[in-house]
Each structure stands twice: as structure tokens, then as C-alpha cells.
A = this chain, B = another copy of it.
Amino acid sequence: MVKIKDIAERCGVSIASVSKALHGTSDLNPNTAEYIRNVAKEMGYVPNASARLLKTNRSYNIGVLFVDSTSSGLEHEYFSSILNSIKNESENHGYDITFISHHFGNNQAGGHLTFYEHAKYRNVDGVIIASVDFKDPEVIQLVESDIPTVTIDYLFDGKSSVVSDNIQGVREIVNYLVDCGHKRIAFITGEDTSVTRNRVTSFYRTCDERGIKVREDYVKRGKYHVPKESGIATRELLSLDEKPTVIMYPDDYSLLGGVTEIEKRGMSIPDDISIVGYDGIKLSRLVRPEITTFVQNSTEIGIQAARKLIEIIEHPKSSYAESIPIQGKLQIGKTVKKIN
């Protein structure tokens, strides 16, 4: 590789001058600077990020913590979409991204690494955390460390985060359902996370506002992205004496699990039962019938997370911790029947 020294020799100047010329800054003769830059370009010079990092302590590398080795984090469209968005936004700011994970086996860092250690090992300037167990001590260690962090869909006190507005989401869904004449509304939730709690609270609150009495046996705990689980919950709901007229699912995948179950019983959607999803995966408009669902703005979430983190990295003094809410949008499909 061609390095600064090579350019210096070729130009007959010192390496300091080359460095200065390359940075544009400093008080170098504009002509020499220009000349040096041309030669550098001609020689195909590419800076060495590691060497630079060693001096400046800035890697221009953002860590992304996206679930542990359960290996499937990237396969959830909501998260892969956020990741993609983070990647694009970061790159536009000159940052690359590195996945933070546990390292096992014979790695150069000496075996197992905690998330924090991994982040240190790679010298990331900051890390965006999403889709993990936020109670994990390792996650907490990372968040409380000296490394700037931004969390997605979870709040740590005094730290910045970007959160999809689940309260709004469920409110809009429930309001829409009630407007359609539904009163017997069932809700299959995901695991007990803060996201879930927000949704459930919003569910109760909105029902309350609309004068709907929530039946406890209409609220079932399921799991995010596990169609089988929602299938089971669906079966239970459909076995009740007084069936709900509509079922809200924790996500669009789970909804499809429910569909299987519903059709198994010979019921048809939305005539016999209405269903609503969450997330707004791309397929939601493609699948028949089109899914009524709440579309989370994953692109915006990724953009905001990247921007906020970069702000913290580049202006640590003037940047304050904040939680950035991202609004979604109700997508009306054909799985909810108007019954009024």
C-alpha cells in the first residue's frame, strides 16, 4: 500500500506536509497542498484507518448490537430494515458499522468477549443497541460504560434512545376497530418487554376511553415472531363461549400463524373473525387478504438512531440525552370487517 511516506518522497516534502495537505486544514501553501493532493490521488493513496485511529482515538466505526448468537436477529424484517437504515445513514456520515457480539473460540482477542470488551477491542466510537435482552448484565455494562450508546425500543435512564411509538400504534388500532363496530377485541401480546407493556397499557387505556370493557381472557401472552405460539393463543380464543370479533396480533408473522388456525376451523377472514397485525412487513400488502396492520417506520428509526449516536460522538458536550419517538401509520387492509 502506498502511504504518506511514499507521497512525501515522491513530492520531495516531509510527511508532515503531506498529512497537512491531505487534511486540507493548516497553513500550507495552497499550491503545494494542491500538488500533494494530486500526487496522492495519482498514486492511489488510501488512508489507513487503524493507524489513524491509534493517533486520534476515533475509529469512525459504529458498533451495532443486534441480538446475541441466537442467530436470527437479522432475519426479522423489522430489525433488518432498521439495520439497513442505520448502515446507510452511518455511511453517509463517513462511519462504518461493526457488529458487536460475543466472540467464542480461538479468536485473537483471547476467547470470550463481553459486549463491552468487544466494543473496546474494535474501538468503536459508539454503539446502537436493539433487539437484545436489555436486562442482560453485559448490555447494562455496555450502556453504563464510557462508550456512547443509543438504544432502540428501550429506555435507559439518562441515555438516548429511539422508540417506535407503540402507544400510538395500539391506540390507532383500537380506535379503528371500535370505529368499525368491534367491541369484543382480543389481544395476543408478545413476551413481557417494555414494548409489550406499552402496548398493553395503551390497549387498556384506549378501550377504556372508548367505553369498551376488556375481558381478561381476551388478553393472551404469546411470543413475537413465533406463529406457532399465536396459533395456540388463537385456538384458545376461538374456543371461548363468547368469541372475540377481532384478534390483535403482536406482529404480522404471528398473525399468519393465527390465520392457519382460523382456517383450520373453517372460519373465514374477515367474515367470521377479524384480525390485525403489527409491523407492516412488506408482504403485508402482498398476502391475501391484505393485512390490516400498524406499520412501524423502521427506516426512520434507523436514521434517527444513527444521527443521534453520531451527534453524541461528535458533540459530546452539547448533546443531551433524549428519547426520540417515531410515529407509525395504520395500514388498512382487508382483514377487519365493518360490523356496524
Q: Does A288 contact B (CB under 8 A)?
A: yes
Distance between Cα atoms of A260 and B286 in the complex (Å) = 7
Contact pattern, A 230-269, Cβ under 8 Å of B = 1, otherwise 0 = 0000000000000000000000010011011001000000
Asked if B54 and A54 make an inter-chain contact with CB atoms under 8 angstroms apart, the answer reads yes
Q: Given A60-B107, A94-B107, A96-B98, do A49 and B88 touch, yes or no (CB 8 Å)?
A: no
Q: Which of A60-99 contact B (CB under 8 A)?
A: 60-61, 69, 71-75, 77, 80-81, 83-85, 87-88, 91-99
> A109 is contacted by which of B49, B53, B58 (Cβ under 8 Å)?
B49
Distance between Cα atoms of A73 and B88 in the complex (Å) = 11
Q: Which B-chain residue is minimally distant from A96 (CB atoms)?
A: B98
Closest chain B CB from A298 CB (angstroms): 10
Asked if B263 and A113 make an inter-chain contact with CB atoms under 8 angstroms apart, the answer reads no
Distance between Cα atoms of A69 and B91 in the complex (Å) = 9
Asked if A123 and B49 make an inter-chain contact with CB atoms under 8 angstroms apart, the answer reads yes
Asked if B123 and A48 make an inter-chain contact with CB atoms under 8 angstroms apart, the answer reads yes
Asked if A74 and B69 make an inter-chain contact with CB atoms under 8 angstroms apart, the answer reads no
Q: Does A50 contact B (CB under 8 A)?
A: yes
Distance between Cα atoms of A53 and B46 in the complex (Å) = 16
Q: Does A110 contact B (CB under 8 A)?
A: yes
Distance between Cα atoms of A87 and B324 in the complex (Å) = 30
Query: Across chains A and B, which 4 residue pairs bring their CB atoms closest together, nearest first?
Result: A94-B107, A50-B50, A74-B84, A256-B286
> A74 is contacted by which of B61, B83, B96, B107 (Cβ under 8 Å)?
B83
Instruction: List, sorted by A's number, 12 A–B pairs whose CB atoms are closer than 8 Å.
Output: A44-B117, A46-B121, A47-B121, A49-B50, A49-B108, A49-B123, A50-B50, A71-B85, A91-B99, A93-B106, A93-B107, A260-B288
Distance between Cα atoms of A205 and B186 in the complex (Å) = 54
Closest chain B CB from A336 CB (angstroms): 18
Copies in the complex: 2
Q: Which B-chain residue is minimally distant from A85 (CB atoms)?
A: B71
Q: Does A10 contact B (CB under 8 A)?
A: no
Q: Does A105 contact B (CB under 8 A)?
A: yes
Asked if B52 and A108 make an inter-chain contact with CB atoms under 8 angstroms apart, the answer reads yes
Which residues of A come within 8 Å of B, CB atoms? 1, 22, 44, 46-54, 58-61, 69, 71-75, 77, 80-81, 83-85, 87-88, 91-99, 101-110, 113, 117, 120-123, 227, 253, 256-257, 259-260, 263, 282-283, 286-288
Distance between Cα atoms of A274 and B283 in the complex (Å) = 21
Q: Which B-chain residue is minimally distant from A93 (CB atoms)?
A: B105
Residues of B within 8 A of A44 (CB): 117
Residues of B within 8 A of A95 (CB): 107
Q: Given A54-B54, A80-B80, do A46 and B113 touch, yes or no (CB 8 Å)?
A: yes
Asked if B47 and A286 make an inter-chain contact with CB atoms under 8 angstroms apart, the answer reads no
Closest chain B CB from A280 CB (angstroms): 13
Closest chain B CB from A251 CB (angstroms): 12
Distance between Cα atoms of A61 and B59 in the complex (Å) = 14
For A71, A94, A98, the residue with the greatest tally of chain B CB atoms inside 10 Å of its CB is A94
Contacts A75-B84, A96-B98 supplied; 19 other A-B pairs, CB < 8 Å = A46-B109, A46-B113, A47-B121, A48-B54, A49-B123, A51-B54, A52-B108, A60-B108, A75-B80, A80-B80, A91-B99, A92-B105, A93-B107, A94-B106, A96-B99, A96-B122, A259-B288, A260-B288, A263-B288
